Amino acid sequence: MLATGVLAMTLLWQPLPAAAEPRSISVRSNQAEIADGVRDVAYSAASDTLWATVGTGDPVTDAALLAIRPSDLTTSMSYPAPVPRPPSGQPARSQELDAVAVDDRHGRIWSTSPSQHGYAAFNDQRSWSYRAGGFPSPRDVLVDDLGDRAYLSVTGALAVISTAGYTSELPAIPLGDGAQPTTLALVGSGAQAKVITVDETTGELLVIAPADRTVRRLAGVAGATTVAVTPGGERAYLAGPGLPQITVIDLVAGEQTAAIPLASGAGALAYDGANQLLYATQPGASALAIVDLAANQVASTVQLSGMPKQVLFAKGALFVQLSTPVTTADTLTVLYVSTTPPPDPDPTDDAGVEVGVTIAGAGGLTLGFDSTSVDLGSARLNDDLDHYTASGVLPRVTVLDNRSTDPGWSLVGQVTAFRSDTGAASEADLGWRPRMVSADSGQAVSAGPEVVPRAGLATPRVLAEGRPGLGRGRAVLGAELGFTAPSSIDPGSYRAVLTLTLA
């Protein structure tokens, strides 16, 4: 017998729904004068320090690396840049320090040196190593500390440096003649790492897989000079000083999905996953635009006391460098941003029928997992043959807080030692880089600091925290996992238990 089924389909033509109203934004700020010629700022979770590069002169004659306390923006130390031996007949001048990145795992601070076509690295022994030449016009530097790599965006290529043991330069990944990669963003680590940048020449978005040296090119926007990426690699945001919008690109589908209007263009971007916000500096207007990503609209514009240059989101706060013409010293401003839901656009005052239902409740504070196991795969020996590394992704973790008192919460993790039939590896060999996946509107949840292997999860470490008074709701969290063990470890299949505790 032949059976035939008929499916009735109805198409409802409706107008597109209006974009959600942006949330209300409140901002507290603090600022301090730092030094003349601040170039860039990066944050070290290991030392709880902001590292700022400064330089004066054209070309730069004096440069330094400053250690700044995030709590009060005071400079605790200043380290002069190295002074290379000058060519015969030319005056000596400092190695230029420009873009900066932190390598907490190996205790180094990396910086580009555009005028010398090189780079400089400052280590935890308070000494410098540097290179002049061979790196044409470096624009940005990025560190994958779990993957033992540093990357520089240079003309026509992505430069690659091994950071394990003594640093060594590896073959660059070609991006095409004339390519001008700018801002670098990292998704994942190790063999799963993707480096994302924008080619200023074409406006294309480049997704680079260093492990297999492939480059995926996505249509971008002509005039784009900066990019920000969600930690999970779902979306990228492209902008530039001459563009009237921020372009949203779905990195999975490889297509543009939205354009967020932005007057005056953007100089730099920073992503805030805890609040689902995007920050865009507007140098031409001496302002900062705060974009509500739930509505894809600018929710607030903050007028600043100077021209913003770079912007950094760290420790649940936003750090903005300002060039202030009224003083000789540039200013570092920290902004603490919070959100509240928009008012109901269609309030009603109707009578109705009361409907009751009893819900047993989820215990007030509940923890859920997408999966209860994770496989880091096969560890690989690093280039210096002194340790094995492996990486993976923590299954998504959901925290549900229904407590009316809203006291806030903390989610911490601790791992046991790794054991096999042949030996054991220390619990300190596992590290993580926590990230926010999503949070309810109005909820203030922040991911914990990165913990590198060797520092490890032998003691309880924070994966995420919900702020008292703003922690109620549902938050989804994740983390990139990194494992490092000495090369002397016995071969085998190792297992450990990572315990997450919510309180």
CATH number of the domain bearing residue 246: 2.130.10.10
| 276 and 390 inside one domain | no
Longest CA–CA span in the chain (Å) reads 97
The pLDDT of residue 393 is: 87
pLDDT confidence band for 466 (50 / 70 / 90):
very high
Range with the poorest average pLDDT among 107-116, 196-205, 419-428: 419-428
The pLDDT of residue 282 is: 95
Per residue in 43-99, pLDDT (tens digit) is 998 888 999 999 988 778 789 999 999 989 999 999 999 988 877 888 888 899 999
Q: Is residue 318 part of a domain?
A: yes
Average pLDDT over residues 164-181: 89
| 254 and 399 inside one domain | no
HEC readout, 325-392: CCCCCEEEEEEEEEEECCCCCCCCCCCCCCCCCCCCCCCCEEEEECCCCCCCCCCEECCCCCEEEEEE
Residue 284 has what DSSP assignment?
Answer: G
Q: Which residues have CB under 8 Å from 230's CB, separation 6+?
A: 236, 271, 273
Cα separation, 113 vs 119, in Å, equals: 5
Specify the residue for token string 């390519």: 179
Residue 184 has what DSSP assignment?
Answer: E
HEC readout, 75-94: EEEEEECCCCCCCCCCCCCC
pLDDT confidence band for 349 (50 / 70 / 90):
low
Give the residue with greater pLDDT, 215 vs 490: 215
Query: ∠ at Cα 389 (388, 392), nearest 5°?
Result: 150
Strand 461-466 to 409-415 pairing: antiparallel
The number of helices, as runs of H, and strands, as runs of E, in the chain is 0, 39
pLDDT confidence band for 351 (50 / 70 / 90):
low
Query: Phi and psi for 114 in degrees, rounded to 5?
Result: -60, -45
Q: Is residue 357 part of a domain?
A: no
The pLDDT of residue 343 is: 61
CA distance readout (Å), 444 to 22, 314, 400, 479: 16, 14, 13, 18
Q: Which residues have CB under 8 Å from 344's CB, separation 6+?
A: none
The pLDDT of residue 222 is: 93
The pLDDT of residue 210 is: 95
pLDDT confidence band for 390 (50 / 70 / 90):
confident
Residue 371 CB coordination number (10 Å): 8
pLDDT confidence band for 239 (50 / 70 / 90):
very high
Query: ∠ at Cα 374 (195, 434), nearest 5°?
Result: 50
Per residue in 139-149, pLDDT (tens digit) is 999 999 888 99
pLDDT over 70 percentage in the chain: 90
The pLDDT of residue 279 is: 97
| 428 and 297 inside one domain | no
Q: Is residue 96 part of a domain?
A: yes
| 285 and 408 inside one domain | no
Cα separation, 444 vs 272, in Å, equals: 11
CB 205 within 8 A of CB 236: yes
The pLDDT of residue 346 is: 57
Give the residue with greater pLDDT, 307 vs 20: 307
Cα separation, 77 vs 346, in Å, equals: 55
Q: Is residue 4 part of a domain?
A: no
The segment with the largest mean pLDDT, out of 154-158, 448-452, 493-497, is: 154-158
Residue 211 has what DSSP assignment?
Answer: T
| 257 and 128 inside one domain | yes
Per residue in 194-230, pLDDT (tens digit) is 999 999 999 999 999 999 999 999 999 999 999 999 8
Mean pLDDT, the chain, integer: 86
Q: Is residue 193 part of a domain?
A: yes
Is 0.85 topped by the overall pTM? no
Q: Is residue 212 part of a domain?
A: yes
Secondary structure element (H or E) that encloses residue 256, with its range: strand 255-261
Q: Is residue 355 part of a domain?
A: no
Statement: residue 181 has pLDDT above 90: yes
Q: Is residue 430 part of a domain?
A: yes
CB 251 within 8 A of CB 293: no
| 377 and 331 inside one domain | no
- How many domains in the chain? 2
| 308 and 433 inside one domain | no
The pLDDT of residue 294 is: 86
| 388 and 483 inside one domain | yes
| 249 and 152 inside one domain | yes
The pLDDT of residue 274 is: 78
Give the residue with greater pLDDT, 273 vs 334: 334
CB 289 within 8 A of CB 272: no
| 373 and 326 inside one domain | no
CB 338 within 8 A of CB 290: no
* Domain interval for residue 276: 27-340
Statement: residue 105 has pLDDT above 70: yes
Range with the poorest average pLDDT among 37-46, 381-390, 455-464: 381-390
Specify the residue for token string 């950071």: 163
| 265 and 331 inside one domain | yes
| 248 and 145 inside one domain | yes
Statement: residue 12 has pLDDT above 90: no
Average pLDDT over residues 95-116: 93
Statement: residue 357 has pLDDT above 80: no
